[in-house]
């Protein structure tokens, strides 16, 4: 380290943070969204607009592939609809209606529900182990923050760390972001159970019952619901992904 100048160290930090950021961003996909990938779904935005197509999920957004091309109001031929990650705040719900599914995808979905509803010992064990790693990850980050804060108060190394503080923070944030979400005990104990979710539809609260399959930092995934948004909406069997900014699990329903 004695032979490394602050300029060289800065270059190393920039290179590392760029590499780590590119690696993580290029591979990280929300696991709730991934669960609907390949299925015909309906995307409803906060204004009530609905878009229908086969979902393809990428790290930077999602795309709905239309089953057939159509002309828009301006005469353009369109075959898909793309929504970028920074636009996810406009999502009201992602709906997987059962009567839109092919026989193959319906079997796939039924197997998914069977596996999710009251999971067995092996599934619960795997999830508990994964949660242990998430908890350890959070603890390591807390310890590293304390150690870095103490190191900055010393001479020599402290001065160097202060000059690289921006890049240290950048790498830590990218590593934290590589995990979908930290362990959430409030939701975790109801995974695989029927619950009631409350979410805002056009700023009006709506309650829906379903099996809680999973959650991430941004979304909640519910299976086997009767989706409706009010008196004028027909109740239909569906699975849902709801943004956590607009939805909460309100009750246990069994």
Q: What is the pLDDT of residues 151-163, one digit of tens each?
A: 555 545 555 555 5
pLDDT of residue 28: 75
Residue 30 in domain: no
Residue 81 in domain: no
Give the mean model confidence (pLDDT) for residues 47-58. 93
The pLDDT tens digits for 178-229 are 445 557 888 988 999 999 999 998 888 989 999 999 999 899 999 999 988 7
Residue 254 in domain: no
The domain total for the chain is 1
Strands 247-252, 236-243: pairing is: unpaired
The boundaries of the domain holding residue 153 are: 6-13+121-182
Backbone torsions φ then ψ of 90, nearest 5 degrees = -85, -5
Alpha carbon separation from 249 to 5, 43, 212, 244 (Å, rounded) = 53, 21, 9, 9
Helix (H, G, I), strand (E, B) or coil at 90: helix
Residue 165 in domain: yes
In this predicted structure, which of 25-34, 68-77, 156-165 has the lowest mean pLDDT?
Answer: 156-165
pLDDT of residue 179: 47
Which of 179 and 136 is assigned the larger pLDDT? Answer: 136
Residue 105 in domain: no
Give yes or no for residue 95 having a pLDDT over 90: yes
Residue 129 in domain: yes
Residue 126 in domain: yes
Kindly compute the dihedral angle of the four CA atoms of residues 204, 206, 212, 217, in this order, to the nearest 10 degrees: 0
Percent of the chain with pLDDT over 90: 39
List own/partner pairs for 125-129 with CB under 8 A and 24 or more apart.
Answer: 127/188, 127/191
Give yes or no for residue 5 having a pLDDT over 70: no
Give the mean model confidence (pLDDT) for residues 61-81. 86
236-243 sheet: strands from edge to edge: 77-84, 61-71, 50-58, 40-45, 91-97, 236-243, 219-227, 204-215, 194-201, 247-252
Percent of the chain with pLDDT over 70: 62
Residue 116 in domain: no
Which of 136 and 75 is assigned the larger pLDDT? Answer: 75
Which of 28 and 65 is assigned the larger pLDDT? Answer: 65
Which of 148 and 38 is assigned the larger pLDDT? Answer: 38
pTM above 0.85, yes or no: no
Strands 236-243, 91-97: pairing is: antiparallel
Residue 181: CB partners within 8 Å, gap ≥ 6?
134, 215, 216, 217
Of the candidates 156, 40, 48, the one whose C-alpha atom is nearest the C-alpha of residue 99 is: 40
Angle between helices 165-177 and 6-25 (to 10 degrees): 20
């Amino acid at each position: 380290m004695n032979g490394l100048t602050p300029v060289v160290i800065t270059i190393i930090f920039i290179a590392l943070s760029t590499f780590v950021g590119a690696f993580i961003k290029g591979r990280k996909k929300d696991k709730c969204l991934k669960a609907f990938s390949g299925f015909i779904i309906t995307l409803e935005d906060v204004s009530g607009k609905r878009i229908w197509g086969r979902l393809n999920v990428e790290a930077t957004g999602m795309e709905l592939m239309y089953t057939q091309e159509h002309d828009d109001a301006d005469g353009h031929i369109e075959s898909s609809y793309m929504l970028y990650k920074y636009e996810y705040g406009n999502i009201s719900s992602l709906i997987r209606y059962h009567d839109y599914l092919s026989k193959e995808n319906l079997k796939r979905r039924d197997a998914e529900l069977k596996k999710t509803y009251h999971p067995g010992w092996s599934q619960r064990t795997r999830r508990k182990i994964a949660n242990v790693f998430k908890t350890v990850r959070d603890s390591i980050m807390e310890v590293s923050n304390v150690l870095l804060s103490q190191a900055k108060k010393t001479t020599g190394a402290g001065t160097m760390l202060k000059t690289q503080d921006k890049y240290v923070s950048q790498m830590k944030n990218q590593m934290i972001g590589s995990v979908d979400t930290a362990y959430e005990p409030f939701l975790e104990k109801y995974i695989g159970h029927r619950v009631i979710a409350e979410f805002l539809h056009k700023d009006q609260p709506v309650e829906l019952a379903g099996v809680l399959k999973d959650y991430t930092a941004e979304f909640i995934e519910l299976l086997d619901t009767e989706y409706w948004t009010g008196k004028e909406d027909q109740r239909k069997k569906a699975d849902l992904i709801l943004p956590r900014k607009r939805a909460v699990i309100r009750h246990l329903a069994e």
